[in-house]
Copies of this chain bind each other. A is one copy, B any other.
Amino acid sequence: MNEFLLIDQIVAALGEVASGACVRIGPGDDAAVSITPPGMELVSSIDALVADVHFPAEAGPALIGYRAIMVSASDLAAMGAAGGFILVALNLPEGNPDWAAELARGMAEAAAELGLSVVGGNIAAGPLAITVSVHGFAPAGQALTRAGARIGDDVFVTGRLGGAAAAVARGDLASCQLPGDLDLLSRHYFHPRARIREGVQLLGLASSAIDLSDGLLQDLSHIGERSGVGFDLESPSIPVETGATLAQALSGGDDYELCFTMATAPPSLDVAVHRVGQVVSKPGIRLDGKPVTPSGYQHFAS
């Protein structure tokens, strides 16, 4: 199995998601060619998932692939971007075609659910890592950012938090091979749902937004820094997932839910929304009136 045959297998496994409305040239040339719809801006992000840092290498490849797309696309959701396309760079320790095709099938499933196309990629020999570059479209000038939170706005989160962190703490994620193996907590880890649809619904309504990848406190602190504000949170209103702890919901990471600020009540979304606190002028974050230090996942933490 050489590099080019392996690429053929992966492209075959992608199936229909290798094409799409915005795609003029998909996999197979030096680069892909896409069309940005009139009146739209391109929203772009890149994420790397390293084996045994961001996912257990022994888990099922379809689960790993699904998770890689959802985790990366979550950044599009945070900006209110949708549609668009994905490039994937796979560093593989060996050219195992079955493993790679299963990974691609998991990616294709996630991309299809989100309405994204997978238009190209790269394969290299190396320690197992998956890097995903995601690109979506937002109406010109309207993308959500971390910078617009205003004093008096309420703070909201989608879904329930801490489930993925609880699954990590349980220590059995490497045994998950197929979607049928997932329970409530491991589903949070392997099958998060990037909130693309919800992000779009918040355009023009939310004053700021971020996706929850490193834990609510740490991610909220980024909104605080960029918006020049602070937050008062109330612990009874934090939507802690069943089986998770409040600490996991606050600082566990890997939630891939949206956190956003708004002056009014949020619209009805496909997922439950919870008000968790308020934007205030005093910098930093208080929980039930007491200052908390944002802690969450950091690479190279000293």
Residue positions of A touching B, CB distance < 8 A: 1-4, 6, 24-25, 28-36, 41-51, 53-54, 75-76, 78-79, 81, 85, 87-92, 94-95, 119-127, 129, 131, 133-135, 138, 140-141, 143, 145-147, 209-211, 226, 298-302
Contact = CB atoms under 8 A, between A and B. Distances in A.
A85 to B, nearest CB: 7
A143 to B, nearest CB: 5
A50 B88 contact: no
Given A46-B87, A125-B53, A226 B30 contact: no
Given A50-B125, A300-B3, A29 B135 contact: no
A53 B226 contact: no
B50 A32 contact: no
B91 A48 contact: yes
A90 B129 CA distance: 11
B45 A34 contact: no
A300 B6 contact: yes
A300 B87 contact: no
A79 B31 CA distance: 7
A91 B129 contact: yes
A208 to B, nearest CB: 10
Contact of A42 (B34, B90, B91): B34
B29 A33 contact: no
A22 to B, nearest CB: 9
A164 B3 CA distance: 21
Given A33-B143, A41-B34, A300-B94, A122 B3 contact: no
Nearest to A4: B298
Given A50-B124, A125-B300, A126-B127, 6 more contacts: A2-B300, A33-B143, A36-B36, A36-B42, A44-B119, A123-B300
Please give the count of copies of this chain that the complex contains.
2
A46 B131 contact: yes
Contact of A44 (B135, B146, B211, B300): B135
Contact of A45 (B2, B30, B42, B48): B30
A285 to B, nearest CB: 16
Nearest to A125: B299
A25 B145 contact: yes
A87 B123 CA distance: 18
A42 B124 CA distance: 24
A26 to B, nearest CB: 11
Contact of A120 (B44, B129, B131, B143): B44
Nearest to A48: B89
Contacts of A122: 45-48, 131
